[in-house]
Amino acid sequence: MADEVKTSGVDLEKAPLDQVMQELGADAKTGLSASEAQARLQKYGANALEEKEESFTHKLVHAFMGPIEYMIEAAAIISAIIGHWDDFIIGTTSLSSCYC
């Protein structure tokens, strides 16, 4: 993780704009120079959030969660219990087709 900006104990969220700009070494009218912006980019990294990829297992589990999926699962289980195997196969097939 990139280094955090060190301030002199000032709460930058509540401080006046002048004080924030002074703490960060910036100018509200002109901003940062290109060289200062490049130096900060090197030191702190890009101002971007990392996207966390969802695992295959997580996607698979969530494909079978939801009110409609629960009803299909219940119908398939009941069909299997009472021996209606055609309905059971149709239910499980429709469930497996939900996962894309």
Write the pLDDT tens digit of every residue in 9-48. 778 888 888 888 888 888 888 888 888 889 989 998 888 8
> What's the structural domain count of the chain?
2
Q: Count how many residues are written for the chain.
A: 100
Residue with tokens 């469930």: 95
Q: Answer whether 0.85 is exceeded by the pTM.
A: no
Cβ–Cβ under 8 Å, residues 34 and 42: no
Bridge partners of 27, per DSSP, are 31
What is the domain range of residue 69?
56-96
Give the residue among 100, 81, 79, 99 at the shortest CA–CA distance from 89: 79
Same domain, 35 and 79: no
Residue 98 — very low, low, confident or very high, per pLDDT cuts 50/70/90?
low
Cβ–Cβ under 8 Å, residues 91 and 71: no
Q: Which pLDDT tens digit goes with each residue over 62-80?
A: 877 888 888 888 999 999 9
* Nearest-angstrom CA–CA distance, 31 and 46: 17
Same domain, 47 and 61: no
